[in-house]
Structures are given as structure tokens and as C-alpha cells.
Structure 1
Amino acid sequence: MKKVTGIGGIFFKCKDPRAMREWYQKHLGLETNPYGATFEWYEGPDSTKKAQTQWTPFKENTKYFEPSTREFMINYRVENLEALVEELKKEGVTIVDKVETYDYGKFVHILDAEGNKVELWEPKD
């Protein structure tokens, strides 16, 4: 079973997300929006299958990364999220929440071997 197909996003805590977005826009040229920045790319050899990776600074006191106490969270793109969750449960991986579906894909959060919260995303590209 294919598990991770790419990086879906990089999320990190900071004191002032708006100032951080502005700094990256000014100094590194990121085209930012209220959520951060989106990098578009093409998935695999099919040059018509567009994909994206999200870069997002979060307020330093966000609860979104809990139960992890780390300053970052990585989102991985996956295929067949529900089957993967069942496989991970059998392997003893901690599943933080249930699979949620939005118009842009399905999400679930797990904890890695050191307690880092990891977001898994099955996108609707």
C-alpha cells in the first residue's frame, strides 16, 4: 500500500503570524495570503495533475498542534486515507482524532514515535 505521496504542508508556531508572513513576502518573495503561502507543482509524470504544498505560520499559543508540544507540524499527502488509518491502528500508531472530510480533501492527525502531531491529508486535487 502506498502511504505518503508528498509534503502537503509545513506549519510552525511564531509570535506574530501576520508579521512573519510579511517578512517572508518582503525578503524571500513568498506570495502570501491570510493562511500563509501555497506552492503549486505537478504530481508525477502527468503534467496535468496539479498539486500544492501549504506553508503556514500559526500563533505561538495555538492549540492546533496539541497534544504535541512541538513548535511545528508537518502535513503529508497520502492516498486512501481511511485504509491507511486502519493499517496504522493495527500497527499501534496513536490516532488523535477521526477522519474529517472537507471540499478539499480528508484529514486525520496521528502521533509519531516521539509524540509529534502529524497531519495526514488525502487531497481532492
Structure 2
Amino acid sequence: MHVTGIGGLFFRSRDPGALAAWYAQHLGVGPVGDSWSWAQQAGPTVFMPFKQQTDYFPADRSWMLNLRVQDLDGLLAKLRAADIAVETRDEWDSPETGRFARIHDPEGLPIELWEPPAED
């Protein structure tokens, strides 16, 4: 296997600087200081195409960003305190896959927050 991981995520934005600042402030994602890259922790990455008719994310979007997180409850409290709408559903969570929440960035892009199950 020659591919060792995702090397980047590139997408269009009406205001790239402001959007990058939002991701850094609220999610801790993105470049730090003068660095153009973000060092991630090792862990699982799901790469999965969905059927065109899926209702897993909004029909007007071609993709949804999923971010692996620690302390989902703490992050959700921080996001709510910043007046960022958070959606959770009991049916999204399971001991096998972990816990999930959904938010949208300022440009309406869907973001799924995923706390994988604790490793034994």
C-alpha cells in the first residue's frame, strides 16, 4: 500500500482567512503560527463514499467533514458557549462506533464531531 494517510483537505471559501480563524478558534484545527500544516494524532480515518440519495448529511452538500475528537462533552459546551448550534441524536451513538455531534461552519459546511469508543 502506497497511501499512508490523508495529506490535506482543500475547499473553496468566500473568506479563507476568516474561515481558517474560525476553525482554529473553535475546533483547534488548522495551521498554527507560521506553519501551514496541522499535526494530527494517530487514529482511525474513515474514507467512505455515500449514495447520491443519502440523508446522512444535507442533500445540498457533496461532502461532510468528520473530525475525531476527545472529550466531546467539553467541546460541545465550549461550542454552545460561543453560540454555535450543536445537534446530537441518541441514535447516532453506539458502544461500537462511539459518539457523534453535528455543527456547521460559518459558511454552512457540515461538520461531524466523532469521539471514538475508548480503547480497552
Query: Aligning the two structures, in what range does the TM-score lie when normalised by the shorter sequence?
Result: 0.5 to 0.7
Using the size of structure 2 for normalisation, the TM-score is 0.57
Q: Does 1:61 align with 2:53?
A: yes
Structure with the higher strand share, 1 or 2: 1
Q: Does 1:84 align with 2:84?
A: no
- SS at the partner of 2:55? coil
Query: Could you say which residue in structure 2 is the equivalent of 1:72?
Result: 63
Deviation of 1:98 (Å): 4.0
Q: Which amino acid aligns with 2:72?
A: L
1:57-106 CA distances to partner (integer Å, 9 max, x unpaired)?
Answer: 1111211112x621000110111001110110110112133465312211
**Structure having greater relative contact order (Cα 8 Å, sep ≥ 6):** 1
Give a deviation string over 1:19-73, Cα, whole Å, max 9, x none: xxxxxxxxxxxxxxxxxxxxxxx82xxxxxxx2100111111211112x621000
Calculate percent identity across the aligned residue pairs.
33
> What's the counterpart of residue 98 of structure 2?
105
For structure 2, the 5+ residue unaligned runs are: 1-26, 30-40
Stretches of structure 1 that go unaligned for 5 or more consecutive residues are 6-41, 44-50
Q: Is the 8 A contact 1:108 1:121 kept in 2?
A: yes
**Are 1:119 and 2:112 an aligned pair?**
yes
TM-score in terms of structure 1 length: 0.55
Name the CA shift for 1:112/1:78 in 2 (closer, same or farther; >3 Å): same
